[in-house]
Structure 1
Amino acid sequence: MPVVVVVVSLMVGGGLLAREVYRTPDVQQDAILALPSSTARPPGQQPGPGTVELTPDAAAHPLHEDVRRLLQRYFDSINNRDYDAWRTTVTKARIQAKSRPAWLHDYRSTKDGSPLVYRIDAASDEDLRVLLGFTSVQDPLDAPDALPGSSCVHWKLTLPVTLESGNWRIDNVAGYTTPEATKC
């Protein structure tokens, strides 16, 4: 009988330990969760809402809320044509690469929406890679070189996010990634 009690106790303890080890991380309730949509919005509803959303996979990352807030400020600054606000979301190198006149010209007719963070990966303690999709509408004359004349573009890309002076900032997109752009 004592052997049975010991064996049952070990089994229960092992089960509780396994439950903790294999438990999925808790998702914060303040995270805005979404799944990729398989239905396209009608042209009149593009680019969609401006609120940054996260897939459950992205929301499971411990820095998801920092990334979501950063991207929200980033997209808001573009949609509001606010270069000074944009500067607070990007690295010094990116600011140096894009002057105020060039930025205002590049985003003069841009409206971004439906931003969805698919995944957040740590490249190091101070660098993240954020897989992101969003929709951009613009004057066809301001369309990206890859899709001339397009007034609506779906983008998917990996954004490098780095810790700079104690704050997370969006860095220049390096040559390791090529943004995917498709016409709406």
Structure 2
Amino acid sequence: MRGSVRQPWLLPVVLVVVVLTGVAGLAARALYPPSSATTPPVSAVVPTEAPVDPTDQPGPAEVKGTGDAVGHPLYDQVRALLQTHFDAINATDYRTWTSTVTADRVRGTPEKSFRQDFDSVQDGTIIVYRIETSPDATARVMLTFTSTQDLADAPAELQSPCIHWAVVYPLTLVEGQWLIDQNSTSATPQHEAC
């Protein structure tokens, strides 16, 4: 054929360009993750300072997390543990409650004391803010919640039918399961009347 000149070097050059473009694309993808990876998951909540109507206290009993907490690898386990824990308190279900705490904490809270302390308590608006893990199989969970209760079940230092709590729950890994432990961080929570 006239006018048709084969250039043997053209095919290898095109292949090299295609391969280099693919490698550059993969490198860029690794260095710059998609924008959706930097936004909080849909299930994350943004805490608000908007006052809750007193008749709606303590708020929903569902445990939720902020973007920081939801992004933590342990969030699903921690959320499930706390949901079971708070559901047990709301139902005054001692047996289920004992499945969420360490043996030391169970020994420190016999069933009679649990029932006396929590018989009118309802917890809600439960928000996990942060989860911090340690190499020694322990973790700390920073959360807030609201409780309503009869004055007889309110803490002696804050006799109120509605209390906002800010606490740090220590967790310990026991036989592959995270449990709420007992130590000084949970013994002195911050709290104020609603």
Establish whether TM, by shorter chain, passes 0.5: yes
The 8 Å contact of residues 81 and 179 in structure 2, kept in 1 or not, is answered as yes
* Compared CA separation, residues 176 and 100, structure 1 to 2 (3 A): closer
1:118 to 2:117 alignment = no
**Which amino acid in the other structure matches residue 166 of structure 2?**
K
2:164 is aligned with 1:151? no
The residue aligned with 1:181 is: 191
Aligned to 1:82: 93
Does the CA-based 8 Å contact 2:167-2:185 persist in structure 1?
A: no
Q: 1:109 to 1:177 in 2, by over 3 A?
A: closer
In the superposition, the TM-score normalised over structure 1's length comes to: 0.84
How far apart are the structure 2 equivalents of 1:168 and 1:49? 24
Aligned positions of 1:21-100 closer than 5 A: 24=37, 32-100=43-111
Larger radius of gyration: 2
Q: Report the secondary structure of 2:32's partner residue.
A: helix
Where 1:78 maps in the other structure, the secondary structure is helix
Find 2:172's aligned residue among 148, 156, 162.
Answer: 162
Change (3 A) 1:74 1:64: same
2:31 to 1, 15, 18: 18
Which residue of structure 1 aligns with residue 119 of structure 2? 108
Structure 1 segments of 4+ aligned residues over 3 angstroms from their partners? 8-17, 22-29, 175-178
Q: Which moved more, 1:125-134 or 1:112-121?
A: 125-134
The runs of 5 or more residues in structure 1 that have no matched partner are: none
- Equivalent-residue separation in structure 2 for 1:106 and 1:133 (angstroms): 19
What letter is aligned with 1:111?
Q
Aligned residues: 178
**Percent of aligned positions that are identical:** 37
Indicate if the aligned counterparts of 2:128 and 2:144 stay in contact, CA closer than 8 A: yes
Secondary structure, aligned partner of 2:141: strand
* Paired residue type of 2:169: L
Q: CA deviation at 1:34?
A: 1.1
Aligned AA (2:170) = P
* Match in the other structure for 1:142: 153
